[in-house]
Structure formats: structure tokens, C-alpha cells
A and B are shown apart, each in its own frame.
Chain A
């Protein structure tokens, strides 16, 4: 039965074959996003420029008025915050893409095809991680041009970059879930109401020590703050450290928070995809 090789039912394949097709199908779905970038380079560039503009705005426009507690250059303080913010803002793209596919029936078309069921989310995840990685390196370049630098070892810097991408990875699953639950335009509104408090109620732009105590405590417990504080520490930038437990264990929490987010939202995504069939 040589001709069945082309479209053999997935069910009849071995586990190895299934894994191989899951990877191939996942790549095909990822490739779709890469084709989007190629067809709409303007959108890609605009998406990449947004965080750069944010950096310039905060670095130069507001930077003069900002004082880093304990001394230090505000731009050095700012850059880890900007890196993490870019990871948070990426969630908007995840939600938009997922909600759009679900409301336009593209998700249903995928589900009616004999492809690997995981490919839809794997493709989404890989494409979003690629985009965020590009954004992050662009911002690092931008920071270096503005006089930001890392003062630690290369290994510490790599760990910092890893923690930032881990945060983005966890937010992919949050984004997929939100996109599946709230379809269409309401999803995009939901994201904006989600990402602004998550982004600004943190230590990304302002030291939490300058906030009222209750607000500063909330900001300290914001998962974003842990990632920002951890990367400041790893990059050797000013503005990290403090008295509270959450601040002192920033690197630990920069791992724990994303894992908690994944532990919550990954099962919810799986359940939501199953519920599409009920």
C-alpha cells in the first residue's frame, strides 16, 4: 500500500511517526506567520518599532525626571523594565491571532483536517516566541546604543534573556486562552485592559519604593516585577534589591511565576480546545 503513504490516517501511525508529523505540522503553522511577515513587512516593522519608541520615550522624554533610588543611571534602570514590557505587550498579538482564527472558522478548518491537533497551538507558540526574540534582541541593540550595558558575566546576561523569554512563553498560553474564550473584537479590548495594569503596576518604569506602601506591595508581587528585578540583578543594572521577601527572591520568583502561569493556562487551553467539540 504505497499510495497510502501520502495521507495515511494518523491513527494508524506509530508514536514516532506521530511525533514527526506533530513537528512538521507545527512548523507548517509557524511558517504561516513567517509568510505573514514577508507579505506585510510594514506591519512587522511597526510591531517591532513600537517597543523601540517606548524605550526612546521613557529614556529621553521622562528619563530626566526619574530618580533611581540608591543612585544610578535611569536608562540602565529602565532597560530591563522595557525588555519585560515588550514581553508583556506580545500577549496582544497572541490573543488577536487566536481570536481571529477562531471567529473566522480557520480553527475549525484545522480541526476538520487530519493534521496533528497540537500543531495549531505549537505553531502559534513558536511564531510568537520567534517574534518576541527578535523584538528582544532589537531592544538590546537599542539599549546598547543608548548607553545601557550589562555589567555581569555573559552567562548571567544569557540567564536574564532566558528569564525574559520564559515570561513571554507563559504569556503565550494566557493569550491563547483569552483568545479562545473571548472571540473577535472583545478579545482585543480584554487584552488592553489586561496588559496596561500588568505593565505599569510594576517596577518596570518606577521603583516600587517610591509608591505608597500598599501599591508598592502589589507592584512587587506582580509577576512582571520579579522578572524585571531578576534581570536587573543579572545584568548588574541598578534598582534591584529591597527588604521584602518577594524582592529578595526575584530570580527564584522569575522562574516560579511563569511556571505558575503555564500551570494554570496550559490545562485551560487544552480544556478549551476540547470544549470546542462539545
Chain B
């Protein structure tokens, strides 16, 4: 595999626990300087794949290269090329932010003086200078995560792994972390990011790999994936609940496909191939039937729908999941 083009390549990676495969025939190619989002439900194998690619966990099958080095035989070289931000902010709570960065700098063998200087640079880069001397236990979730990111960037590694970097953060902290990640990417870092949040993948990732039961089930740009489940949809919001069935019938006739109904939001949704003509026809049919509607709109499917469609997760009781389930029937 061309190591100048791809920062991470994985071929048929497999990881077995007893008889169960946590990862099976896992393939991934992350182009240098891009952000790859690894999207999947809990237990899909996201963390397992990150732990294998960062040499924390040995795989049973297949092969992978990170920054051109083989993870099985060149673990030490790989560890020089990567930064890892795990699900917990893996920093020392008692030490100050600066002491943490200095300690990790020493462990990267920068030497005491350079480690100190690098700590100051990183505190500034991640906007932690003001709180650099405070104990980490006094930090907010977002600050902790930024410190965690800073610690991973001590050697300015070309490849950064982020395992659910914003899980458990409030929206403000999440935006802070996203901003920090974007800053790193603009500096040329390749990022492999796992997330359960579609919005996060949509916001940050150039390409998304959807993973389910240890295997990549779809791969592409966020736009590609949205197209993949059948293009655009028409949403109609009814004025009152009694008319929902009638609206659904009309929309199904026009679109020739299964509609989905969310009665609590009085929303009927159907997938269409011919965008604008279908919209006009639905509007006309509703008007001639004398049904009052509050809203009618043409939209692209959300990543939620794509995700649930691809992973076939019907156990989630949210409305979007029903929408996606029914959309998948077509």
C-alpha cells in the first residue's frame, strides 16, 4: 500500500474474543491530511479498531499500517507517529495542566527543558494558558479534553486517533473540542475519529465509514451516504392528526413508495426520485383533497436515517429510527 497517500490502511483486520468476533474483515483507508469518521453504535467495534491501530491491542487476523509502519512488527515506530485520545480524559487529575504536558513531554524523551517549552506552546495553542497552573481536577470537561488533545500532540504526530472525543460533554465543550480538532486538521494532521454522534461525523469528517458488528458496512463522504438511502424526501406536517392517514395515502400514491408517519409531530415523510415535480404534485393533491397542512418541504435524508438504515438498528425507539426503518422498505 502506498504509504505516502494513506496515513492509515487496514486490510481484513480481525479480532476475536473466544468465539465472538469483535472485529471481522475490517477494511479502512484514510487518506493523508483528511478526517475519517468511524461511525457505529455501541459495541460495533469502534474502540477495538482504534486500540488495535494504536498498538494497544493485538489483532488476530489481517494487517494494518499506520503512517507507513506495520502495527504488528513496528509498534514502537507507530507509537512515535500517533497521538491517542481515548474515551476518558487520560490525564493526571492532581497535577496541573502544565505539569501533565511536561511529564508526557519527558516521556516522549524531549528532555526537561524542551518538554517545558513544548508544554507552554501547547497550552497556548489549546487556549489553556490561563489555567495551566491549576490542578486538572478543577477543569471543565471541555478543558480536560483539550488538555488530553494537547498531550497527544506533543510530538506533533502526523496521525491522531480520537475515540469518542466528545462523549459526555455539554454542547459548549463539544464545540470547543471540535474547534481544536479543526485547528489540528488545518495544520495537516490526519485524524481518525470514532463517534456515535452523526452530527459530529457530519461536522468533522471528510469521509465516513459506518461500522456495525465489527465490519465496515458503508463508506463514503457524508453526502454519498445520504444519497445512498434513496435520495430526497418530502415531509408534510399536518394541521391536525385526523388527516395523517389521508396525507400518507396521497403521498404514497404520488411517490410510489412506503411513507412513514410520526403522529406526535404530525409529520408524514416519503422518499422521492423526481424531486420538484413530486413536491408540486403532492401539494396539488393535498389542496384538491382539501387537507390543510402546516408545512411541506423537500429535504435530504439526515445522517441519522442513513446510519440507522445501514446498521439496521430497529431497537432504538426514537422516531427517526422508525422513519429510517420504513424508508428502507421502499
Contact = CB atoms under 8 A, between A and B. Distances in A.
Contact of A11 (B76, B82, B92, B94): B76
Contact of B56 (A25, A35, A112): A112
Given A35-B95, A109-B90, A7 B80 contact: yes
Given A7-B80, A104-B90, A115 B99 contact: no
B88 A104 contact: yes
B56 A113 contact: no
13 contacts: A7-B155, A9-B76, A9-B77, A104-B88, A104-B90, A105-B88, A105-B89, A109-B151, A111-B55, A114-B76, A115-B108, A276-B56, A278-B58
A25 to B, nearest CB: 6
B22 to A, nearest CB: 12
Contact of B94 (A6, A39, A115): A39
Nearest to B58: A277
Contacts of A278: 57-58
B291 interface: no
A72 B229 CA distance: 88
Contacts, number: 93
Contacts of B80: 7, 9, 114
Given A6-B110, A35-B95, A106-B91, A112 B57 contact: no
Interface in B19-59: 51, 54-58
Interface residues of B, number: 37
Nearest first, the 10 A-B pairs at minimum CB distance are A105-B90, A105-B88, A109-B90, A11-B76, A114-B79, A115-B107, A112-B84, A105-B86, A28-B106, A9-B76
A105 B79 CA distance: 16
Give the residue among A31, A110, A114, A276 with the most B Cβ atoms within 10 A. A114
A110 B107 CA distance: 8
B90 to A, nearest CB: 4
B114 A6 contact: yes
Given A31-B103, A113-B104, A115-B107, A108 B79 contact: no
A21 B109 contact: yes
Contacts of B185: none
A192 interface: no
A106 B148 CA distance: 10
A39 B95 contact: yes
B135 interface: yes
Given A7-B80, A277-B58, A39 B88 contact: no
A277 B107 contact: no
A10 B56 CA distance: 17
A113 B107 CA distance: 8
Nearest to B93: A104
* Consensus secondary structure, chain B interface: loop
Given A11-B74, A114-B76, 13 more contacts: A7-B110, A7-B155, A11-B77, A24-B106, A24-B109, A28-B106, A39-B96, A39-B135, A105-B87, A105-B88, A105-B90, A106-B91, A106-B92
Contacts of A105: 86-90
Nearest to A11: B76
Contacts of A2: none
A224 interface: no
Given A105-B88, A112-B55, A276-B56, A36 B76 contact: no
Interface string A1-24: 000001101110000000001001
B108 A114 contact: yes
Contacts of B56: 108, 111-112, 276-277
A110 B94 CA distance: 17
A103 B89 CA distance: 11
A40 interface: yes
Contacts of A119: 107
B103 to A, nearest CB: 6
A104 B87 CA distance: 9
A31 B89 CA distance: 21
A29 B92 CA distance: 11
Contacts of B86: 105, 108-109
A277 to B, nearest CB: 5
Contacts of A277: 55-58
Given A6-B110, A7-B108, A104-B90, A32 B155 contact: no
Contacts of B88: 103-105
Interface string B101-123: 00110111111001000000000
Contacts of B135: 39
B93 to A, nearest CB: 8
Interface in B61-81: 74, 76-77, 79-80
A109 B123 CA distance: 19
A139 B87 CA distance: 42
Contacts of A6: 109-111, 114
Contacts of A110: 107
Nearest to A119: B107
Give the residue among A29, A113, A276 with the most B Cβ atoms within 10 A. A113
Nearest to A27: B106
Contacts of A40: 94
A29 B56 CA distance: 19
Contacts of B51: 108
B161 to A, nearest CB: 8
A31 B107 CA distance: 12
Given A7-B155, A31-B103, A32-B103, A113 B79 contact: yes
